[in-house]
Structure 1
Amino acid sequence: MDFTTGGRLEVRITPSDVGKRVSVRLRIEGGNSGARFTDVVGVLTSWTSGVLCVTRRTGEEVRIAEASLVAGKVVPAAPARRRGPAATAAELDRAAARAWPPVESERLGAWELRAAGGFTRRANSVLPLGDPGVPVEEALRLVTAWYAERGLPAYVQVSTGAEGTQELLAAELAAHGWIQEVSAEIRIAALAPLADLDADVSRVALSQDIDEAWLARYQRSASGEPAPEVLRVLGGGPSVWFATIATAEATSETENESVPAAIGRCVVDGRWAGFTAVETDPRLRRQGLATAVMTALARKALEEGASAAYLQVETDNDGARALYEGMGFTLHHRYHHWRAPHENHR
C-alpha cells in the first residue's frame, strides 16, 4: 500500500474521516527486536482521546493509539468484486429478511423490529437499514423495551464488510455495552451453474407444503412438536419450496425410514433464490445428498425466474462453508447479532 508522498510516510486521515474506509500502518513495539509494523484496513468508527477504532470486514474492532500511527489514508468504500451477482448489502439483507419473516414486526423509523416467539435470532432481532428517526441511544432503549414486553432478549443484526454496511452502528452498540454474539456470512452465486451441477436429483421430492417428515429432520424442531411460530417462519416468504430426500430403508446405521436423509428450503423472490435449512443425516454425509437438494431447488428457482442465489452460514461452520465454496458461493459480507447488556442468553 502506498502511504508515501515524496518518499515520506504520511498520516493523511483525521477525525473528520470517521465513517470512511481507511488503511493505516502502525508501529508495534517488538521488545529486543525493535519496532515492527502492521497494516489495518476497515471503517474508521471513532477517533477520540487519542485512540482510533477501525472495524474490519469481519466485524472485529481494532483500537489504535494515535501515537503509534506512522501512515494512514482513505481508501475506496469497498473493493471491486470479481465473481458473483452484483448486489448491495442492503438488497441482500432485505431479501434474506423476506425469506425468513417474523410473526410480528414494527417500524422504528427505518429500523424493523422483528419477533417470532424466540425462534432464531434472525426472526427476533432488529433489522436496522437506515435511520431510526431518534438518537441511537433512545432507539436502543425503545428496542430493549419492545423485546422485554414480549419476554425476549433484544438483538440488533448488524452487517459489515461491504459498501453501505453498518460499522458505525456496531461501534455505537459496543459503546453502549451491547455484546456481539453470533456472526454469519452471506454468500452469493450465479444460479444457473448451481442448477447445472452433476448431482442425482431423482430422489429429491419438492413441495410447497411443509410436512412432518421434513420437520423430523429439521434440527430446530426434531425434538418435538414445532411451535406455531416455527411453521409461520418456515412457510413464509414470496415463493417457498421444500426439498426432501427420503431415507432408503431403516438400518442400524440410520435413524428410521420416516426421517429423511436430507432436506432443504428455498425462497424465490424476484431474481433471488435464498437457500436455508439444508441438513443431512450425519451418518450419510459426503454422499452428495446436500448437493442434490441444492441442485433440485436451484432448478425450480430457475423455472420461476430467479437468476442469483444467496445463503447464510455461520462463520464457525467450516464444513458448510467448504461445501458452499465448492458449489461456487463467494463471500459478499457478514452480519453479526448484538445482544443488549444484562440480558439472559436465549
Structure 2
Amino acid sequence: MEIPATGRFEVRITAADVGKRVSVRRLSVPGGTGEKFTDTVGVLTSWDDGVLLITRKGGESVRIAENDLVAGKVVPAAPARRRGPAASYEELARVTARAWQPVESERLGGWELRAAGGFTRRANSVLPLGDPGLPLDAALAAVRRWYGERGLPAYIQTATGAEGTQEVLAAGLERRGWVREVTAELWIGALAPVADRAEGSGVVLSRTADEAWRARYRRKGLSEVAVKVLEAGPSVWFAAVPGAAAGDPPAAIGRCVVDGRWATFSAVEVDPDQRRRGLATTVMAALARRALDEGASAACLQVETDNTGAQALYAGLGFAPHHAYHHHRAPEPTAGDTAGSGGS
C-alpha cells in the first residue's frame, strides 16, 4: 500500500482527480472512530454527493463515503510489469479484435460497433477505443438503435486494470443500468517457451475450420456466419489432434491468429475423456511453432475469470494477466423507449 501505516494522514485527492488511479485509506467501520482502516487502490471513477466510487483492477467497484476517508493520493497509472512482453492496452485490444472479427461493423467516432449474427459477445459488441463523438447518453442511444435494427442485444466491451483502460466508462454504464454479464482476462506471454513444448505429436494444421474440427468445438451447429468469424483474421491457423479411431472427432483442437509480433490463441478444446494428458499444451505448441515461423514473438489469449483449470495451464506456459475485460449489456427498454436493445 502506498500510504504509510504511521505518520500523518492526508487526503490529497479531489473530484478533479476522477479518471486517475488513486490509493485511499478509510475507516473500516463507516462513521467509526477506532483506528481500523481499509486500503483501496484503483481508478477514481466518480465523486458525487459525498461518495467516491473506485474501480479496482478486476472491475469491482467500491463505494466510499467522503466522511470516512483518512488518507488518499494519486498513484502511478499502472504498476511496472514483471512478466511477459511489453504491451499497451490499446495494442492488445486492436490485435485481439482483428483475431475475432465481426461480419459487419460501423464506426461511431472512436467506437467500433460490431455484429456477427449473435455468435459470441466479442463479435457482437462495441469496442470503445476513443471518444464516440457524441455525449455519452446520445452515443448509448445510437448503440442501442444499431443493435436493435439487427435484432441483437446491445453490448459494450470495456477493460479495466491497465493504463488506458475504461474504468470511467464502465462505471458510467453501470450507473445507467447496463449490466456486466461476463468478466474475463487478457493474458500475455512469450511465444518461444510455448513452441518449445512441441514434440512431433501428429498435430494436423489447417487454414480452415473443417467439419472434424467443428465437431470438437464446444459451440455445436455453427452457422455460416460463425464459420466466417472463425476463419477471418490476418493469418489464421487451426490445429487438431486426431481422434482414437477413424471418423472420431479430434481429441483436441485449437486456433491461432498470427498478426505481426502477436499470436492470439483461442478455441483450445480437449475431449473430456482425454484431459490431463497434455493435449492442450500439444495443440498450443504446434500453433506456436507455426507462429514463430511467421515472425511472431509474443502470445496472448483470453480466459474467463472462473476458469481455474485453463488459468493453471496458461500460467504453466509462462502467461500472466495483463488486464480484465467485461461485457456490459443494455438494460431492458422501458415503456416509450424508442432506442430498444433488440432480442437475443
The residue number in structure 2 matching 1:254 is none
The residue number in structure 2 matching 1:318 is 308
- The residue type paired with residue 202 of structure 1 is S
Q: 2: CA distance between counterparts of 1:295 and 1:6?
A: 50
Identify if the C-alpha distance between structure 1 residues 45 and 213 changes in structure 2 by more than 3 Å, giving closer, same or farther. Answer: same
Preserved CA contact (<8 Å) 1:195 1:296: yes
SS in 2 for 1:106: strand
Residue 335 in 1 paired to residue 325 in 2? yes
User: Deviations for 1:100-146, whole angstroms, at most 9, x for unmatched residues?
Assistant: 00010000001000000000000000000000000111000000010
Q: 1: CA distance between counterparts of 2:214 and 2:190?
A: 29
Preserved CA contact (<8 Å) 1:201 1:293: no
Preserved CA contact (<8 Å) 1:106 1:113: yes
The residue number in structure 2 matching 1:228 is 224
User: Deviations for 1:15-62, whole angstroms, at most 9, x for unmatched residues?
Assistant: 111110000001022899955211000000000100000000000010
Q: 1: CA distance between counterparts of 2:262 and 2:253?
A: 20
Identify if the C-alpha distance between structure 1 residues 192 and 59 changes in structure 2 by more than 3 Å, giving closer, same or farther. Answer: same
Preserved CA contact (<8 Å) 1:4 1:10: no
Structure 1 segments of 4+ aligned residues over 6 angstroms from their partners: 30-33
Identify if the C-alpha distance between structure 1 residues 167 and 32 changes in structure 2 by more than 3 Å, giving closer, same or farther. Answer: closer
- The residue type paired with residue 210 of structure 2 is D
User: Deviations for 1:288-319, whole angstroms, at most 9, x for unmatched residues?
Assistant: 10000000000000000001000000111111
The residue number in structure 1 matching 2:205 is 206
More off after superposition, 83-92 vs 34-43: 34-43
Q: Of residues 254, 262, 266 in structure 2, which corresponds to 1:264?
A: 254
More off after superposition, 29-38 vs 15-24: 29-38
Preserved CA contact (<8 Å) 2:150 2:342: no
- The residue type paired with residue 45 of structure 1 is T
Identify if the C-alpha distance between structure 1 residues 311 and 2 changes in structure 2 by more than 3 Å, giving closer, same or farther. Answer: closer
Residue 79 in 1 paired to residue 49 in 2? no
- The residue type paired with residue 241 of structure 1 is W
The residue number in structure 2 matching 1:215 is 214
Q: 1: CA distance between counterparts of 2:67 and 2:75?
A: 21
Residue 19 in 1 paired to residue 19 in 2? yes
The residue number in structure 1 matching 2:29 is 29
Identify if the C-alpha distance between structure 1 residues 50 and 288 changes in structure 2 by more than 3 Å, giving closer, same or farther. Answer: same
Preserved CA contact (<8 Å) 1:245 1:260: yes
The residue number in structure 2 matching 1:246 is 242
Preserved CA contact (<8 Å) 1:11 1:73: yes
Q: 2: CA distance between counterparts of 1:344 and 1:40?
A: 38
Identify if the C-alpha distance between structure 1 residues 336 and 5 changes in structure 2 by more than 3 Å, giving closer, same or farther. Answer: closer
Preserved CA contact (<8 Å) 2:149 2:342: no
User: Deviations for 1:48-89, whole angstroms, at most 9, x for unmatched residues?
Assistant: 100000000000010100011011010000000011011101
Identify if the C-alpha distance between structure 1 residues 178 and 248 changes in structure 2 by more than 3 Å, giving closer, same or farther. Answer: same
Q: 2: CA distance between counterparts of 1:332 and 1:5?
A: 29
Deviation, 1:345, is 8.1
Q: 2: CA distance between counterparts of 1:334 and 1:30?
A: 29
User: Deviations for 1:250-297, whole angstroms, at most 9, x for unmatched residues?
Assistant: 7xxxxxx42110000000000000000000001100001000000000
Normalising by structure 1, what TM-score? 0.94
SS in 1 for 2:153: coil
Residue 273 in 1 paired to residue 282 in 2? no
Q: 1: CA distance between counterparts of 2:279 and 2:67?
A: 55
Give the alignment of 1:121-200 within 5 angstroms: 121-197=121-197, 199-200=198-199
Preserved CA contact (<8 Å) 2:31 2:67: no
Q: 2: CA distance between counterparts of 1:201 and 1:327?
A: 18
Identify if the C-alpha distance between structure 1 residues 200 and 286 changes in structure 2 by more than 3 Å, giving closer, same or farther. Answer: farther
SS in 1 for 2:140: helix
SS in 2 for 1:11: coil
Deviation, 1:210, is 1.8
Name stretches of at least 5 consecutive residues in structure 1 with no aligned partner: 251-256
More off after superposition, 147-156 vs 203-212: 203-212
The residue number in structure 2 matching 1:66 is 66
Give the alignment of 1:18-57 within 5 angstroms: 18-29=18-29, 34=34, 36-57=36-57
Preserved CA contact (<8 Å) 2:154 2:342: no
Identify if the C-alpha distance between structure 1 residues 17 and 117 changes in structure 2 by more than 3 Å, giving closer, same or farther. Answer: same
Q: 2: CA distance between counterparts of 1:106 and 1:2?
A: 43
